[in-house]
Amino acid sequence: MPSTDRPNILLILTDQHRWDTLGCYGAPTCRTPNLDTLASRGVRFDAAYCPTSPCSPSRAALFTGLYPHKNGVPTNGGIVPPGTPNLAESLAGAGYNLGYAGKWHVDDARVPSEYGFAGKDFPGYGQPTVAGIPEGLRYGRRTNRPTPHYGDYLREHGYEHPRVLEAHYGDNPGKQDQEMYALQSGTIDQTFEAMVAAETIDHLRCFAAERRESGKPFFVWANFWGPHTPCLVPEPYYSMYNPADIPPEPSYAETWADKPRVHALYERFWSLSGNGWAGWRELVARYWGYITMLDDLVGRILAELRALGMEENTLVVFSTDHGDQMGAHRMIEKGPFAYEESWRLPLIAAHPACERPGSSCDEFVLLNDLFPTFLEAAGVTPPEVPDNRSILPQVLGRDEPTGRDSVYGAFYAHLFPAPLRFVRTKRHKLVFNQVDMGELYDVVDDPWELHNRFNDPAMAEVKAQLMERLREHMETLEDPILPSFDRIRHVY
Residues 5-20 pLDDT 10s: 899 999 999 999 999 9
CA distance 182 to 192: 15
CA distance 179 to 333: 9
CA triplet 13, 16, 18: central angle to 5 degrees?
100
> What's the pLDDT tens digit per position in 350-371?
999 999 999 999 999 999 999 9
Query: Is residue 341 a part of any domain in this protein?
Result: yes
> What's the pLDDT tens digit per position in 305-322?
999 999 999 999 999 999
Query: Is residue 432 a part of any domain in this protein?
Result: no
**Residue 171 carries which DSSP code?**
S
Predicted local distance difference test score (pLDDT) of residue 143: 44
138 pLDDT higher than 80? no
Query: Is residue 208 a part of any domain in this protein?
Result: yes
Segment 211-224 mean pLDDT: 98
385 pLDDT higher than 80? yes
175 pLDDT higher than 60? no
**Domain tally, the chain:** 1
139 pLDDT higher than 80? no
> What's the pLDDT tens digit per position in 236-252?
999 999 999 999 999 99
Q: What are phi and psi of 11, to 5 degrees?
A: -110, 120
**Structural domain range at position 341:** 8-404
Predicted local distance difference test score (pLDDT) of residue 59: 98
3-state secondary structure of 318: strand
CA distance 354 to 348: 12
| Average confidence score pLDDT of the chain | 93
Query: Is residue 360 a part of any domain in this protein?
Result: yes
**Residue 177 carries which DSSP code?**
G
Query: Is residue 298 a part of any domain in this protein?
Result: yes
132 pLDDT higher than 70? no
Query: Is residue 486 a part of any domain in this protein?
Result: no
Segment 290-306 mean pLDDT: 99
Q: What are phi and psi of 409, to 5 degrees?
A: -115, 140
Query: Is residue 42 a part of any domain in this protein?
Result: yes
CA triplet 18, 23, 28: central angle to 5 degrees?
95
Predicted local distance difference test score (pLDDT) of residue 147: 74
Nearest to 388 by CA among 160, 94, 16, 87: 87
111 pLDDT higher than 50? yes
SS3 per-residue string spanning 75-115: CCCCCCCCCCCCHHHHHHHCCCEEEEEECCCCCCCCCHHHH
pTM of this structure: 0.96
> What's the pLDDT tens digit per position in 29-70?
999 999 999 999 999 999 999 999 999 999 999 999 999 999
CATH number at residue 389: 3.40.720.10
Query: Is residue 476 a part of any domain in this protein?
Result: no
Predicted local distance difference test score (pLDDT) of residue 272: 80
Predicted local distance difference test score (pLDDT) of residue 432: 98
Predicted local distance difference test score (pLDDT) of residue 273: 76
Do 367 and 55 touch, CB atoms closer than 8 A?
A: no
Do 492 and 481 touch, CB atoms closer than 8 A?
A: no
CA distance 373 to 219: 13
Do 246 and 281 touch, CB atoms closer than 8 A?
A: yes
CA distance 391 to 372: 8
Do 118 and 101 touch, CB atoms closer than 8 A?
A: no
